[in-house]
Amino acid sequence: MHISDAVFLEDLCPKFRFRQWRKSIHNFTGKSCIYCGKPSESIDHVIPRSQGGLSTTENCVPACLSCNGDKSDENALNWYRRQKFYDPRRAMAIRAWLEGDLRLAIRLLQWANPNFEIQNKNYIKDESEYEAA
């Protein structure tokens, strides 16, 4: 991961920009949790802040509250590997996201979930009939 060329949120962070940034992160995945595919309600730090993770786009992924809370302070990839809904394509997507390759990440997420729509285009919330894990 290339922390040195990451855009530091703190550098450009009046509040409204922060909100826009959060929104754009959710839009990347069509507002679905990067881990399980349910609606994303929060932003999760892949590398927890307690372990030096930064609030950069590379380190922040859309996540549902249940994944975010369950993962808590653990390294996301380690945590994700143990989940029932583990999908190697999503694991690859998370890794690509971490490396700043959002385009690859999104492609992998689409592969993992054919109903997935980029940029939230045809995303209808009521259609998210994902099985509960």
Which residues contact Zn ion (rule: CB under 5 A)? 33, 35-36, 38, 64, 67
Cβ 67 to Zn ion, closest distance in Å? 3
CB of 29 to Zn ion, least distance (A): 11
Backbone angles phi, psi at 32, to 5 degrees: -120, 150
Q: How far is the CB of 96 from Zn ion (least distance, A)?
A: 18
CB closer to Zn ion out of 64 and 106? 64
Q: What is residue 105's DSSP assignment?
A: H
CA 88 – CA 94 distance, rounded (Å): 10
Residues 124, 32 contacting (CB under 8 angstroms): no
Q: Between 6 and 48, whose beta carbon lies closer to Zn ion?
A: 48
Query: In the complex with Zn ion, which residue's Cβ is closer, 28 or 35?
Result: 35
| Interior angle at CA 34, CA 43 and CA 42, nearest 5 | 20
